[in-house]
Amino acid sequence: MRALKNTALVVLVAMSGLAAECFEITDPFVVAVNVKDIKNTYNVTPGTITFVPGCITKNPADYIDSNFDIANGAQLVDIIVQTTGTFAGNINGGQVRIGGSTQALQVLVNYSGPWSAFNTPQSLLQNSTGLSLNQAGVTTLLSLIENTSPIVICHSGAFSQAATAGMAIDISIFAQVNASP
């Protein structure tokens, strides 16, 4: 009887050990983290024809939780350009440029077309009329994100006629960075 009890206990302990051995957490465990808040709104000054309104800087704390450990790889998923306000003219040669500083900018996306067409959000993935992506800008953007560096975003372009009141251009960038929690 004692031998049977001992055998039973040994079997139970062995099964528990086996269960623990079979269970492992993926290491490294990589999540494609949605990069947030890489966006900017340019409020157009009435009367403007050519616009170079200056740049804004997104610091790492703005777009990635510091608790993540960045792994190799990042993905650009989409860019969305949207206008608000009423305007009868066109946007000509609109550009979004990005870089690590204002001295090292690359064109990320070019856009042009009737202002009213951009009242509906124009994205690379949907309704992409008038948007074109520049590969050098993509490479720069992904490198900055992977290195959790500050990202400088600049607008430029022109209107076919003088801007009126209440106009704005929104740029949103949807990217992911591979990271471990």
Partner 1 sequence: MRRLTAIVSAGVAVTTIAKPARAQSGLESVIEQYSGARIQGYIQPLADALVANLSIGYINSATSPRKFSFSLEAVAMTAKISESMRMYTAATPDGFQPATHETSTIFGGPAQPVQHSTLPGISYRGADGLVDAEYFPTAAPQLRIGGLAGTEVVIRYASSSMVPFLEDEDFPDLTLWGIGVQHSISQYLKLPIDLSVAASLNSLKFGDIVDLSSTSFGVNVGRSFGLFGVSGGIVSDGGTMNLTYTSTDPDGAGSVDVDLDVKRSVRFRAGAALNFGFIRLFGDAAFGDIVSYAAGLRLGI
Tell me which residues touch partner 1 (CB under 8 A): 1, 4-5, 8-9, 11-12, 15-16, 19-20, 22-26, 29-34, 36, 67-68, 73, 75-78, 123-126, 133, 135, 138, 172, 174, 176, 178, 181
109, 95 Cβ separation under 8 angstroms: yes
For the bound state, the minimum distance from the C-beta of residue 65 to partner 1, rounded and expressed in Å, comes to: 8
Closest distance to partner 1 from the beta carbon of 122 (Å): 11
The C-alpha atoms of residue 80 and residue 34 are separated, in whole angstroms, by: 15
Ramachandran angles phi, psi of 150, nearest 5°: -60, 145
Tally of CA atoms within 13 A in the half-sphere of 180 that contains its CB: 8
- Among residues 84 and 176, whose Cβ is nearest to partner 1? 176
Please, what is the minimum distance in Å from the beta carbon of residue 70 to partner 1?
Answer: 13
Enumerate residues 6+ apart whose C-beta is below 8 A from 1. none
Tokens of residue 40, six digits:
């900017």
Smallest distance from partner 1 to CB 62, Å = 14
> Do residues 132 and 117 make contact, with C-beta atoms less than 8 angstroms apart?
no
User: By C-beta, is 4 or 103 nearer to partner 1?
Assistant: 4
Nearest CB to partner 1, comparing residues 1 and 103 = 1
CA atoms within a 13 Å half-sphere pointing along the CA-CB vector of 13: 6
Determine the 3-state secondary structure of 45 from DSSP.
coil
The smaller minimum CB distance to partner 1, of residues 14 and 49, is found at 14
Q: Which is nearer to partner 1, 22 or 103 (CB)?
A: 22
Min CB(12)–partner 1 separation in Å? 5
